[in-house]
Structure 1
């Protein structure tokens, strides 16, 4: 027989065998997933400080945070405070984002596509069980937001990889803080991801 039949199965879930290839490799982030990310992040065409940074907290204390989020200049006496990681576009962070930067929509789209590809690669690398589209989209958005390091060491991933889907679902809500502070936007985003993931899990149970 050829290689397909001689390869050892590397995973089993919901009655599906995956022979000698990476799980979930054929999944692609859907339009539904991209809408979730875009709506949660909001397009911002200038660089702004991280909400949990010392600079952001000082702006919040002065009642200036919302104004700076709309493009108002940051007072000069606060510019010595760290705003890292600076963010722009649809939640893009990195050394290519800095204070005073004006971002074109084309650049923001390029950043978004690259960041989504990176999040997809993490999900495909780290998740050891078969996913359906809704589950995959929910996890890609989660990784996009919390980063690969947090996802790699998360209880959510550990529970998912041992087949504890309900346990993994319960973990989404834990990722609702930035700098130790619960943020309403993160609460809303985690709930959207959890609902999407649960929809996929329910579909999987019906199909099993």
Structure 2
């Protein structure tokens, strides 16, 4: 999975950003991750906008799942470089 992710993400990312993106890909699935707006924005260099995309992946069957929301907030925080996750 990591090889496919690294070959699809063309932006230069810090280790914390790779960790957040890898966590996201593992949880939502590689295909969903690679086709996401989040990855598109990363590749365009719009990292702040990309970070906000994590928060949109908090639902299952149309319902907000608190555990997913918590995970996405943690991934976003990690992506932005805040260590207190």
Fold-level match, TM-score > 0.5?
yes
CA contact (8 A) 1:169 1:194 kept: yes
What is residue 188 of structure 1 aligned with on the other side?
70
With normalisation by structure 2, the TM-score equals 0.90
Q: For 1:128, what is the secondary structure of its paired residue?
A: coil
Q: For 2:45, what is the secondary structure of its paired residue?
A: coil
The size of the alignment, in residue pairs, is 82
Over aligned residues, Cα RMSD in angstroms? 1.2
What is residue 50 of structure 2 aligned with on the other side?
168
Structure 1: state its 5+ residue gaps.
1-117, 201-208
Q: Larger Rg: 1 or 2?
A: 1
Normalized per residue, which structure has more strand?
1
Deviation per residue, 1:79-133 (Å, 9 max, x gap): xxxxxxxxxxxxxxxxxxxxxxxxxxxxxxxxxxxxxxx2x22321211111111
Matched, 1:137 2:19: yes
Q: Structure 1 stretches (4+) deviating beyond 3 angstroms?
A: none
Matched, 1:121 2:3: yes
CA contact (8 A) 2:5 2:34 kept: no
Q: Which has the higher contact order (CA 8 A, sep 6+)?
A: 2
**What is the CA–CA distance in structure 2 between the aligned matches of 1:173 and 1:122, rounded to whole Å?**
23
CA contact (8 A) 1:122 1:143 kept: no
With normalisation by structure 1, the TM-score equals 0.38
